[in-house]
Amino acid sequence: MSSPLDLTGPEERTERTEAQAPADSAERPSEHETPSRASQAPAEPSDAVDAADDDGFDDDDDSEDAGPEVSDEIQRATEALKAAEAEDAQAAAEAGDEAEEPEAVILEPEPEPAANEPELHAPTTTRTGEPAEIDPDEMDPDALKVVLRLHQHGHQAYLVGGCVRDLLLGKKPKDFDVATSAHPGEVRAIFRNCRLIGRRFRLAHVYFKGGKIVEVSTFRANPTELEPAPGAAGAEEGQSGEDLLITHDNVFGTAQQDARRRDFTINGLFYDAAEGRVIDYVRGRRDLDERFIRTIGDPEIRMREDPVRILRAVRFAAKLDLDIESRTYAAMEGAVEDLPRCAPARLLEETFRLIRGGVSAPALKLLAALDSLKILLPPVDEYLRENGKEGEKTFYAFAQALDKRVSAGEVLDDAILLATLLVPISRAQPPVEESQDEGRASVSRVIEDLLAGFVESARLPRRIAERCRMLLLMQRTLSGERRRKTGAFRRHPLFNEALAVFTMTVEATGEGREALDAWQAGEVPPPRAGANSAGDAEGPRRKRRRRRRRRGNGSGEGGGSGSDRPASSGSDAGEG
C-alpha cells in the first residue's frame, strides 16, 4: 500500500461511507497530557517545606490512590499523540487552500405550490393499476421529494444503487441517492438548500433538517465504452486493452449508460418513483432473486478497470449474505495483483468500511482466501500464515467479538477497530525495545511498520495511528503484565477506549475475566503472576527521598545551587 497513485473511483458510489466514530476528541475527554504531580504542585512557602517533606518520599507515591501508574512508555505515547494531533491540525490548516470550504447551509422554506402545480407524491400503483414495486412508505420522504421535484421540472430522476437493492431485499437502506439527467447547475437552481461539491466531477448535495443529505448525481458514461475520436492516438492500435485502469470518470451520459458503468448488477437498478416501477438495464433483478453478485459486463475487464471492486464485492457478499458468481470470483483472484496500483487511501478506506460494517470476520476470511491480505494488512497475513489453524481461530475470534459490538449499535473509533484486530499480533510478538532516537517504547515492529505505512502512504491521520498504538500499549497494564504504583492510569483520557479493547480481548480468548471485572468495578486487580514492572530489570525499585531545602536568607549560603539539581535517590537521600 505504498503506491503514490491517486485514483478517483469510477463507479457512482452506491452507499455513502457508513457512520464512523469520530476520530477527534469532540465527544470524549480532551486528550491532553497526563498530569504530573511534580509539575502541578504549587510553590510552597519556605516555612511549610519541612513539614511537607517529613514523609521523606517522592510525590509520586500516592498511597490513597495506589494502583497501576501511567508507565513511562504510556506517558511518552501520550506526548506522541499530542504531537500527532497538533501535526494533523497543522496539515489540515495548510491544506485549507486545496480543500473545499464548507458553505453555510441556510434551509429556506419550501415555496408554496402554484395553483396549477400538481401535488408531489409517489403513486402507490402503476399506470396499469398494479401495486407499486416498492411501497412509497418504505422510502425516505425527502429523497422522494427530490426525485419528484426534478420530474416536475422536466428532468429524468431515479432512486439508484444501494437503496433500491436493499429495499428489494427487504432491508432498510442507510441512505438514498438520486441520479438525474439534470446537470449540477440545474439541480442547484431547482433546490434552494443545495450546494455543489467535488472538483473533477460535480455532485449536488440537497440538505434537509436534522443534517440529512440527499446526494444527486448526473448520469455518467463509462469512459472505456466511449468510442475514441477519429485520429486519436492509440485509437487504431487498440492500446486501451493493454492497461484497463480507469484514471478519469468525468463524462456525462444517459440513464442506460449510467446503469452500465456501475460495478455489479445488483447496484445497477433504478427506481422510478413517479411510475412505481423498477428500471433494470443490467438484469440485476435476476441476480437478486438468485442471490448472486455479478459484474456488469466482462468481469475480467471490470476488475482490471478498478481493482477496489474486489473489496466492494467482498463487502456486499458478507453484508447481504450473497454468493459471488464463479466468473466474477475468478476475475477477482486475477486482479489481486493490481491492488497496489490503486490509491492507498482508497484501499484503506474500503478496508475500514469492511470492519465498520459489523461483518469483519466473514469479510476478512474471504479476503484471506483471495490472498489479498498480504497487500491490505500484511501483519495479519503473516500472523495467519505463521500460526496456522490456531492462529486463525484466535484472530477470527477477535473479529467476531468486534462484529458483535458493532452489530449491537456501538459506534467505535477507527483506532479501536484497528487495535482490536491487531491485539493477536501484538500478543504473539515481543515489543520493540525503546528507540534511542525517538525515546519511546513500541509495540511489535510489524505493527509499527504497518501504522507508519498507513500514515505515510494511505493518509491515515497520525492521531489515529498514535491512538491505536497507545491502546495496544495499555493492554499490557490492563492484563496485569505491567504493574506500577499510582492511580493516574485510570484517569488517562484513553482508559475507557483501552478497556473496550480489553473487554473484546477477554470475550475472544476467555482469559483475564477477573481482571476485567475488577477494572469495571473501579478496583485494581491483583498483579498477574510474573508481572513485569518498570524496575524489574534493575532490581526492586527504591523509594526516592526528597532532598530538603534549607531555610536561609535567599543568598543560597549552605544550600549552594542544589535547588537547581534534580532530586537524588541513593547517596543524596539523607542530605539536609
Q: Catalytic site residues?
A: 175, 177, 263
Residue 167 φ/ψ, nearest 5 degrees: -65, -40
What gap in Å lies between CA 351 and CA 360, rounded to an integer? 9
Classify residue 219 by burial, with Cβ atoms within 10 Å: 0-12, 13-18, 19+. Answer: buried
Residues 6+ apart with CB under 8 A from 24: 85, 463
Q: How many CA atoms lie less than 13 Å away from 538 in the CB half-sphere?
A: 4
Of 269, 257, 268, whose CA–CA distance to 220 is shortest?
257
Please name which of 534, 548, 538 lies closest in space to residue 58, comparing C-alpha atoms.
548
Task: Name residues whose C-beta falls within 8 Å of residue 522's C-beta, 6 or more positions apart in sequence.
Answer: none
Q: How many alpha carbons lie under 13 Å from residue 419 in its C-beta half-sphere?
A: 28
Distance CA 74, CA 470 (A): 7
Chain center to CA of 362: 18
Which three cell numbers, joined as nine digits, stand for 156?
429524468
- Residue 173: what residue type? P
- CA distances 299 to 14, 162, 241, 255, Å, are 19, 20, 14, 22
**Euclidean distance between CA atoms 418 and 157, whole angstroms:** 40
Contact criterion met (CB below 8 Å) for 183 and 252: yes
Using alpha carbons only, give the angle 10, 330, 350 rounded to the nearest 5 degrees: 40
Q: How far is CA 539 from CA 60, 448, 569, in A?
A: 19, 29, 15
The residue to which cell 399506470 is assigned: 127
496 burial (CB, 10 Å; 0-12 / 13-18 / 19+) is exposed
